[in-house]
Structure 1
Amino acid sequence: MAESHHASRAVPPDRSRRDEWARFWAPRHDAVVTRDDGAVLGASGLKLPSRELRGPERCDHWAQAGTEPSVELESQLHDRPSALSLPGRTRIREPGPPAPPQPAEPRAVRDGGLMERLESSVPYGTAVSAGDTHTLRYELRFPQGAERVWEAVATREGLPGWLAVAEPFVRREGGVITLRWQNTDEHGNATVAPGRVTGWGPVRLAEYTVDVHGRMRFELRDEGSEDTRLRFTNEFTGSAASRLDCLAGWHHHFEFLADALDGRPKDWSTWNLDRWRELRADYAAAGQ
């Protein structure tokens, strides 16, 4: 009988249980120990041949010995194999060096609903889609008063500093409006979007429904202490790719809006697509 360091053993098994041992012990087949006298023992305390047995071979060895691992030891090995300490044993030989750590996700890693993302002066937007109809939403807060934010989103003078030239612009519900974007797409094309003012309430609500970009709704609320909350909704029809385009596009324009409110309107001669590409990739990585 192979030597053992356990007072109690499980009932000697029948060889028909070999497959059961294999399933149980194969994942642990590298957990062997070396005794002070140099003998190599299995995790059960059974003396093994000089070469290391693995998986089913080890099960055959136990079967030939007429015994199997103790339940107590199995529990220790399962819970803390690296901390196993039994009389007469000096060390545990683990299965080789650990795998190198995997690099962390660069961005957009979900963690309790939050995401580590690109540094930005404005919060990220969200998208809800029903077929080819997409609704984008942004909740923004600015340290300027409502009158100042209203001027930026609802006047002919304010809109070009962060979004588009508005000409014509009849400032009442039902009035005509044409928005002419100053930035271009990857092919050098600038959007020209004629439409109507479909919602109007000074210093509170401005809604434009235009070609290409659909319905754009700006809702302002004075938060006190000179802060203003802006809730923006954009509803349009298009492909999943266009949804990502617009998520990144609006985000970029709201960064321009934050600058414009701080007295730095966008100089469109410096426009390029680099930031938009970064934001688009970030929204895509976040599953938007």
Structure 2
Amino acid sequence: MSSETWSDRLLGGLRQTRERLADNLSGLAGGGKLSDAQLDDIEDALIASDLGPRAAGRIRARLAQGKFEAGLDDAALRKTVAGEIEAILSPVARPLDIIAFPRPQVILVIGVNGSGKTTTIAKLAHLFQEQDYAVMIAAGDTFRAAAIGQLRVWADRLGVPIIAGAEGGDPASIVFDAVKAATDAGTDVLIVDTAGRLQNKRELMDELAKIRRVLGRLNPAAPHDVVLVLDATNGQNALQQIETFRNVAGVTGLVMTKLDGTARGGVLVAAAEQYGLPIHAIGVGEKIDDLRPFDPALVARVIAGDV
């Protein structure tokens, strides 16, 4: 059993992001009041660190207002940036609470293939198990046999029931069977995998609409959550995915994975500032317990290098 804390994992997982931002900001501070040229350089550095133009502009405005009588060195700049990142992340850092009544709470999980969607479903199931919720998984991505097989392996490892069908089967039928089974068993949480292909948005929209209709017949409040899984290594492309899936699928919240594999973790801040959707959890590793709700103050300090 590792004695490494979640804070340690965050520090290690976000190392590349932290170093990139620190390098980009290095040497840009100095003096009691920042000049327009310094502010421009800092704003450019924040954009280059994948925080996005909106967050960068917000932080620039805060720095422009600052008095900094004691002077603004690199450490003070990082602290100020951390404070602004925390202000951006705090409103969206919201765990996925299981509050549906009657049960189950139905969570549709969506995301492009390769985003870590299937593994994230397993990690979410484990997270809910830790909170003593009974979990069931539905393999609704019938487009890929590999996805069904991978989910079965995870379900076996976690000891959770899975409802699955054959490759090419009707996802809505799988979901129908899963909701009935979860309701009969008194299951708290039903996590539904859905197709990850965006090449044909109309096809995906039609499939999700059919799933929603089926859910509505069995549980008018379902789906309770539509969670989009994002791969942080995609950087600004992740923002385009939010835009597309929000319009196609009615996304209600985000999970960001693979923050440990990239220097582009600043996109977490960009997503929060641009869309304001709840960010339920972040992933910083490959272990089953490497997906967690996050402390916005700690994440802000780690990203900004104020630790």
Q: TM-score, normalised by structure 2?
A: 0.23
Which structure has more relative contact order (CA 8 Å, sep 6+)? It is 2
Higher strand share: 1
Q: Which has the larger radius of gyration?
A: 1
